[in-house]
Structure 1
Amino acid sequence: MKGSPVASETPETPVTSASGDEGTAGGAGRDAQRPAPRRGLTLVCLALAALLLVSVVVAIGLGPSVIAPAGTARYLWAALSGGEIRASEATTYQVVWEIRAPRVLLAALVGAGLSTMGVAIQAMVRNALADPYVLGVSSGASVGAVGVTVTGGLAGFGIHATSAGAFLGALAASALVYAAAAARTALSPLRLILTGVAMALGFQAVMSVIVYLIPGSEATSTVLYWTMGSFGAASWAALPVVAVAVLLGIAVLSRHSRALDVMALGDETAASLGVSPDRYRRGLLVLISLVTGAMVAVSGAISFVGLVMPHLVRMVVGAVHARVLAVAPLAGAVFMVWVDLVARTLVAPRELPLGVITALVGVPVFVTLMRRRAYMFGGR
Structure 2
Amino acid sequence: MSKNKKQIIIMSIIAIAFLTLYVVWGLTAKNYRFNLSLRIPKVLGILIAGGTISVASILFQTITNNRIITPSVIGLDSLYSLVQTVVVFVFGSTSIFMVNKTINFLMSGTLMVLLSMILFKVVLKKGENNIFFLLLVGTVVGTLFRSMSSFMQVLIDPNEFDALQTKLYASFSLVNTKIIVVSILILIIIAFVLFRSFNNLDVMSLGREQAINLGVNYDKFSKKILIIVAILVSLSTALVGPITFLGILVVNLTYEITKTYKHSVLLIVGTLISIIALVGGQFLVERVFVFNTTISIIINFIGGIYFINLLLRESKL
What is the TM-score when the length of structure 2 is the normalising length? 0.84
Question: How far apart are residue 351 of structure 1 and its match?
Answer: 4.5
Contact persistence 2:117–2:226 (CA under 8 A) = no
Amino acid at match of 1:93: R
Matches within 5 A, 1:150-299: 150=89, 151-152=91-92, 153-155=95-97, 158-178=100-120, 180=122, 188=128, 196-214=138-156, 216-219=158-161, 222-223=164-165, 225-226=167-168, 228-234=169-175, 236-299=177-240
Q: Counting helix residues as a fraction of each chain, which structure ranks higher?
A: 2
Question: How far apart are residue 130 of structure 1 and its match?
Answer: 1.3
Q: 2:41 aligns with which of 85, 99, 102?
A: 102
Contact persistence 2:73–2:244 (CA under 8 A) = no
Q: Distance in 2 between the 1:195 and 1:297 partners? A: 24
User: Which residue of the partner structure matches residue 120 of structure 1?
Assistant: 59
User: Which residue of the partner structure matches residue 92 of structure 1?
Assistant: 32
Structure possessing the higher relative contact order (Cα contacts under 8 Å, 6 or more residues apart): 2
Contact persistence 1:207–1:223 (CA under 8 A) = no
Question: How far apart are residue 292 of structure 1 and its match?
Answer: 1.0
Q: Once the two structures are superposed, what CA deviation does each residue of 1:148-194 show, in whole Å capped at 9, x if it has no partner?
A: 334234449624454444324422421431564586xx994658766
Question: Does residue 1:138 correspond to 2:80, yes or no?
Answer: no
Greater mean deviation of Cα atoms: 208-217 or 305-314: 208-217
Q: Distance in 2 between the 1:344 and 1:237 partners? A: 23
Question: Does residue 1:43 correspond to 2:21, yes or no?
Answer: no
User: Which residue of the partner structure matches residue 149 of structure 1?
Assistant: 88
Contact persistence 2:57–2:248 (CA under 8 A) = yes
Q: Distance in 2 between the 1:210 and 1:256 partners? A: 42
Question: Does residue 1:52 correspond to 2:52, yes or no?
Answer: no
Q: Distance in 2 between the 1:169 and 1:223 partners? A: 20
Q: Distance in 2 between the 1:302 and 1:285 partners? A: 19
Question: How far apart are residue 253 of structure 1 and its match?
Answer: 3.2
Question: Does residue 1:345 correspond to 2:308, yes or no?
Answer: no
Q: 2:278 aligns with which of 332, 336, 342?
A: 336
Question: How far apart are residue 109 of structure 1 and its match?
Answer: 1.9
Q: Which runs of 5+ in 1 are unaligned?
A: 1-37, 72-87
Contact persistence 1:250–1:325 (CA under 8 A) = no
3-state SS in 2 of match to 1:229:
coil
Q: Distance in 1 between the 2:98 and 2:158 partners? A: 25
Q: Which runs of 5+ in 2 are unaligned?
A: none
Question: How far apart are residue 303 of structure 1 and its match?
Answer: 2.0
Q: Distance in 2 between the 1:176 and 1:270 partners? A: 23
Provide closer, same or farther for how the CA distance between residues 173 and 143 of structure 1 changes in structure 2, counting only shifts above 3 A: same
Q: Distance in 1 between the 2:60 and 2:197 partners? A: 13
Give aligned pairs, total.
310
3-state SS in 2 of match to 1:217:
helix
Q: Distance in 1 between the 2:312 and 2:101 partners? A: 46
Q: Distance in 1 between the 2:195 and 2:249 partners? A: 20
Q: Please say which structure displays the higher CA radius of gyration.
A: 1
Matches within 5 A, 1:11-50: 39-50=2-13
Q: CA RMSD in A?
A: 3.1
Contact persistence 2:64–2:124 (CA under 8 A) = no
Greater mean deviation of Cα atoms: 254-263 or 266-275: 254-263
Q: Once the two structures are superposed, what CA deviation does each residue of 1:302-333 show, in whole Å capped at 9, x if it has no partner?
A: 02221121111111211313321231111211
Q: Distance in 2 between the 1:295 and 1:187 partners? A: 26
